[in-house]
């Protein structure tokens, strides 16, 4: 990763993929507090209307439905506006071709609508012909193209029933070819935000799976999924390749042929991902060639490239593909920014979000290091500091939220910037609820619980000062009510920050043992996101990317704290792991770790570094392939290919143990290897053997237990805790 440039990643739409995805539409509407959506579909998708109607009928809402039944009939943005207002609608459900989607986006982008206080949620039902000729965040108006993240739909539904009814259902080859082409185009660009790279790489397992599937339904869903991911990855390139929207292409078929040619050209140019591209090409080759007019010449070209590539070492990472769940959801609307001088862009980002008077919440250390002054000095002319508070307690609480919300209102601020650890970020999320939603005396208690916040909040920018918690990418805020001795849990997608900034300067002052602890916390997030039950193809690649970075840079960041590259990579890895685990959740290392922390006060990072090898060993019986797969990002392709598949899970456990021992040496024993070693500042042991049964019992009430692949009963939890207390190895089954 090039640390001198500013890298960015943004994915504005939530994606819902798989069986019965459409049935969740009521839940999604409810999240946005929508009661009357307008449903539009185009002529081309008229056959899909029946399953769509059926799915909508199973919601308890009355939904106005408008289908364009004539082939040449068109609807303009003005007409949509008229119908929308006449029917008192509050959101849009659209299944349409290029023209309809373009008009819908124009309608949403029009002055009448975009100036409204409340954004109109747009839910798009993906069809095989979905949005092929332009990008997800793009509209075309009289030969001009406008790109804006605001144009991205709020949710994209990829449901097999709708796809199967489409007249273009047999075009899955073209959709897949276009997806592969986009993947290669993205991978051939440099520099890339690691999340963009991960998104592009997640297309390959989907396409590999596609070729193994025999049912059209599964092929279609995988092709469309890959296509949408390709579009999102491509829209994150700083400069879009012109060839993606060719003006001179007449038919859709030409457009895809164009994609194929580009793919092969890219293959020539690519050096760093040849193996992956070859593997993908090799698998997709028969399908790609099938529809070509000039098959022989294509075949020749492919064979030439293949023979060149085959001279290199064969892929020996195992033939088995990673499993793809029958249904998953992925959401990451946080704009991720990373770079050596990323902090300086906060002012510009505020302006882009329509804010000019931020309130900065931070810690004294950050202020002492002169970083607040630095940010202020780089504010554009239009931006001025509204308020600054560096007096936030370690445990965010309701009273602090009330105090800060009052200050925010008094100083007429319009946005929030949080620079700090988990508590600063959680406090900022709490203040954002208090200042954005109706609250009596800034009391946010009524909004506690799951999904109680149903409206977009004020712009919130965060810059984490630890590389581990991942709270910059999570939908959760934990705020204590000390009067009632309660911890209030707020969960809502609207709590996600608008922008998360990774800047290495924020983590320079983090002591070595804390760098090791938080790094291992991030590694646990990534590993558990990969092997726990709610994994999905996107979180998989994000997690693998994070693991690769952590295994490479954690020890360097601990040994040389001012190594800019290592600090930046760790910061980015932590955010990637945060995005991955907020979508796929965590498992037993967190189940036990939360209970250990609550009873013994051992820091969370220490719990994670001790428990991660045990979690991997314990779950090997259920997920041997996934856990074995982790050897590749941890130790590299060479060692992985030399290790027999059956021995890989044990090798993964050994690799984590070796990393822990290295960190122990680098921190002069401050990075602990088992619970009986952990001491407080006075040298007193924090964890006693007698506490283990209480910890095991408490762990049974932790939510993360749901997502662990293997059942974890009280007896099992006690067994693992006893082994982790003594530092004994748990035998991999």
Partner 1 sequence: MKIQKNIKPSLRGFRSFYVSVMLWFVGRALQGISHIDDEVQKELQENFPEGVVIAMGVEPLASGEVKMPALYVKKVGGRFLKFLGCCPPAEVPQLTISFKSLAAAMRVFTFQEKTTEAQAYDRFITDGPLTPALAFVRILNRVEITLLPRFIAQKAVRRYEKLPHKHLNRIRLYIKTLFPTKEVL
Q: Tokens 């960041």: give the residue.
A: 557
Cα–Cα distance measured from residue 684 to residue 698, given in angstroms and rounded to the nearest whole number:
23
If you write DSSP's letter for every residue of 691-711 in order, what string do you get? GHHHHHHHHTT-GGGGG-SS-
92 binds partner 1 (CB under 8 A): no
CA 583 to chain centre: 7
CB of 65 to partner 1, least distance (A): 5
- Residue 55 beta carbon to partner 1: minimum distance, rounded to whole angstroms: 8
Asked if 61 interacts with partner 1 (CB under 8 A), we say yes
**Binding piece for partner 1, criterion CB under 8 A, among 53-61, 293-301, 377-385, 544-552:** 53-61
Q: How many residues touch partner 1 (CB under 8 A)? A: 49
Per DSSP, what are the bridge partners of residue 501?
Answer: 337
Q: How far is the CB of 221 from partner 1 (least distance, A)?
A: 14
> Is residue 56 near partner 1 by the rule CB under 8 A?
yes
Told to check if 706 binds partner 1 by CB under 8 A, we report: yes
**Which positions from 320 through 349 interact with partner 1, judged by CB under 8 A?**
325-329
Query: Which residues pair with residue 678 across a beta bridge?
Result: none
Judged by CB under 8 A, the residue of 5, 23, 385, 679 near partner 1 is: 23
90: contact with partner 1 by CB under 8 A: no
Q: Does 487 bind partner 1 (CB under 8 A)?
A: no
CB of 52 to partner 1, least distance (A): 9
User: In what helix (H) or strand (E) does residue 40 lie, and over which residues does it extend?
Assistant: strand 37-41
Nearer to partner 1, 329 or 552 (CB): 329
**Quick count: other Cβ atoms within 10 Å of Cβ 577?**
34
Q: Is residue 711 a contact residue for partner 1 (CB under 8 A)?
A: yes
**Selected binder of partner 1 within 5, 46, 67, 369 (CB under 8 A):** 67
**Phi, psi (5° rounding) for residue 35?**
-115, -20
Q: For residues 162 and 55, is the Cβ–Cβ distance under 8 A?
A: no
Is residue 446 a contact residue for partner 1 (CB under 8 A)? no
| Distance between CA atoms of residues 152 and 315, nearest Å | 37
- R_g over Cα of the chain: 26
Is residue 705 a contact residue for partner 1 (CB under 8 A)?
A: yes
The answer to the question of residue 534 lying near partner 1 (CB under 8 A) is yes
Q: Which is nearer to partner 1, 37 or 347 (CB)?
A: 37
**700 lies in the site for partner 1, by CB under 8 A:** yes
93/371 with CB nearer partner 1: 93
| DSSP label at residue 248 | T
Task: Kindly indicate which of the ranges 105-113, 372-380, 444-452, 474-482 contains the residues binding partner 1, using the contact rule CB under 8 A.
Answer: 444-452
Regarding 689 and contact with partner 1 (CB under 8 A), the answer is no
Stretch of residues binding partner 1 (CB under 8 A), selected from 304-312, 370-378, 566-574, 705-713: 705-713
* Dist CA 605 CA 593 (whole Å): 9
CA distance 733 to 718: 18
> Is the bond leading into 619 cis (omega within 30 degrees of zero)?
no
Which C-beta is closer to partner 1: that of 79 or that of 254?
79
Phi, psi (rounded to 5 degrees) for 585: 65, 175
Question: What's the token pair of residue 310?
Answer: 């085959």
Number of Cβ within 10 Å of residue 316's Cβ equals 11
- CA quadruple 175, 248, 235, 134: dihedral, nearest 10: -70
CB of 319 to partner 1, least distance (A): 25
Query: Phi and psi (nearest 5°) for 462?
Result: -125, 150
State the Cα–Cα distance between residues 540 and 222, nearest whole angstrom: 16
> Going along 571-633, which residue ranges are E strands?
none
Per-residue binding letters, 567-606, with partner 1 (x by CB under 8 A) = ------------------x---------------------
Q: Is residue 29 within the footprint of partner 1 (CB under 8 A)?
A: no
For the chain, give the longest Cα–Cα distance: 80
Calpha distance 109→147 (Å, rounded): 11
Residues 306-325 that bind partner 1 (CB under 8 A): 325
Does 30 bind partner 1 (CB under 8 A)? Our answer is yes
CB closer to partner 1, 31 vs 132: 31
Of the ranges 15-23, 242-250, 363-371, 379-387, which one interacts with partner 1 (CB under 8 A)? 15-23
Told to check if 59 binds partner 1 by CB under 8 A, we report yes
Which residue stretch of 392-400, 426-434, 449-457, 607-615 sits at the interface with partner 1 (rule: CB under 8 A)? 449-457
Would you count residue 617 as binding partner 1 (CB under 8 A)? no
Q: Find where tokens 């949509």 sit.
A: 80
Nearest approach, Cβ of residue 487 and partner 1 (Å): 11
Told to check if 192 binds partner 1 by CB under 8 A, we report: no
The H or E element containing residue 658 is helix 648-666
Burial pattern 118-148, b for ≥16 Cβ within 10 A else e, equals eebbbbbbbbbbbbbbbbbbbbbeeeeeeee
Between CA 349 and CA 378 the distance in angstroms is 12
**Of residues 227 and 707, the one with the C-beta less far from partner 1:** 707
* Contact partners, residue 215, CB within 8 Å, separation at least 6: none
Interacting residues with partner 1 (CB under 8 A): 18-20, 23-24, 26-27, 30, 39, 53, 56-68, 73, 75, 79, 83, 87, 325-329, 449-451, 532-534, 585, 700-703, 705-707, 710-711
């Amino acid at each position: 990763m090039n640390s001198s440039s500013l890298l960015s990643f943004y994915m504005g739409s939530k994606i819902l993929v798989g069986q019965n995805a459409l049935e969740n539409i009521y839940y999604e509407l409810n999240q946005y507090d929508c009661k009357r959506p307008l449903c539009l579909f185009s002529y081309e998708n008229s056959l899909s209307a029946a399953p769509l109607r059926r799915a909508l009928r199973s919601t308890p809402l009355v939904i106005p439905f408008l289908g364009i039944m004539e082939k040449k009939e068109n609807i303009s943005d003005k007409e949509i506006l008229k119908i929308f207002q006449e029917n008192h609608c509050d959101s849009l459900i659209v299944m349409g071709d290029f023209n309809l989607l373009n008009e819908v986006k124009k309608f949403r982008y029009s002055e009448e609508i975009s100036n409204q206080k409340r954004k109109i949620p747009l839910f798009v039902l993906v069809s095989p012909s979905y949005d092929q000729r332009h990008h997800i965040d793009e509209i075309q108006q009289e030969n001009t193209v406008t790109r804006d993240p605001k144009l991205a739909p709020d949710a994209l539904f990829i449901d097999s029933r709708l796809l199967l009814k489409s007249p273009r259902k047999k075009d899955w080859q073209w959709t897949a070819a276009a997806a592969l082409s986009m993947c290669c185009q993205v991978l051939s660009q440099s520099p890339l935000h690691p999340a963009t790279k991960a998104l592009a790489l997640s297309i390959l397992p989907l396409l590999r799976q596609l070729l193994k599937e025999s049912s059209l339904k599964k092929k279609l869903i995988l092709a469309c999924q890959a296509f949408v991911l390709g579009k999102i990855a491509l829209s994150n390139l700083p400069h879009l390749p012109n060839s993606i929207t060719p003006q001179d292409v007449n038919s859709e078929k030409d457009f895809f042929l164009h994609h194929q040619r580009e793919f092969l050209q890219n293959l020539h140019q690519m050096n760093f991902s040849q193996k992956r591209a070859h593997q993908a090409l090799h698998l997709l080759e028969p399908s790609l060639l099938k529809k070509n007019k000039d098959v022989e010449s294509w075949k020749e070209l492919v064979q030439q490239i293949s023979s060149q590539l085959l001279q290199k070492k064969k892929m020996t990472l195992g033939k088995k593909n990673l499993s793809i769940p029958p249904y998953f959801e992925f959401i990451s609307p946080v704009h991720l920014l990373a770079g050596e001088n990323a902090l300086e862009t906060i002012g510009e980002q505020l302006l882009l979000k329509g804010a000019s008077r931020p309130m900065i919440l931070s810690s004294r250390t950050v202020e002492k290091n002169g970083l607040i002054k630095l940010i202020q000095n780089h504010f554009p002319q239009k931006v001025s500091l509204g308020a600054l508070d560096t007096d936030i307690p370690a445990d965010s609480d309701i009273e602090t939220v009330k105090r800060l919300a009052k200050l925010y209102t008094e100083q007429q601020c319009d946005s929030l910037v949080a620079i700090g650890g988990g508590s600063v970020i959680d406090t900022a999320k709490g203040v954002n609820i208090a200042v954005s939603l109706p609250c009596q005396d800034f009391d946010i208690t009524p909004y506690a619980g799951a999904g109680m916040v149903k409206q977009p909040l004020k712009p919130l920018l965060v810059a984490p000062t630890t590389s581990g918690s991942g709270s910059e990418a999570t939908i959760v805020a934990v705020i204590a009510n000390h009067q009632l001795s309660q911890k209030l849990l707020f969960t809502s997608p609207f709590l996600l920050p608008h922008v998360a900034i990774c800047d290495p300067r924020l983590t320079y002052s983090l002591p070595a043992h804390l760098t090791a602890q938080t790094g291992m916390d991030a590694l646990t997030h990534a590993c558990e996101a990969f092997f726990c039950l709610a994994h999905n193809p996107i979180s998989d690649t994000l997690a693998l990317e994070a693991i690769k970075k952590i295994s490479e840079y954690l020890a360097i960041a601990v040994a040389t704290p001012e190594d800019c590259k290592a600090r930046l990579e760790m910061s980015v890895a932590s955010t990637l792991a945060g995005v991955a685990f907020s979508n796929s959740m965590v498992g037993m290392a967190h189940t036990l770790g939360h209970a250990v922390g609550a009873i013994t006060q051992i820091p969370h990072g220490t719990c994670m570094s001790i428990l991660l090898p045990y979690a991997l060993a314990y779950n090997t019986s259920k997920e041997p392939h996934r856990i074995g797969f982790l050897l590749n990002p941890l130790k590299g392709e060479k060692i992985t290919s030399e290790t027999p598949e059956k021995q890989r899970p044990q090798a993964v456990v050994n690799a984590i143990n070796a990393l822990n021992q290295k960190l122990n040496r680098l921190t002069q024993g401050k990075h602990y290897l088992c619970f009986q070693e952990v001491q407080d500042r006075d040298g007193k042991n924090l964890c006693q053997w007698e506490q283990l049964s209480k910890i095991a019992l408490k762990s049974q009430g932790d939510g993360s237990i749901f997502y662990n692949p293997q059942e974890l009963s009280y007896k099992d939890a006690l067994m693992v805790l006893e082994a982790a207390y003594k530092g004994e190895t748990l035998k991999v089954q």
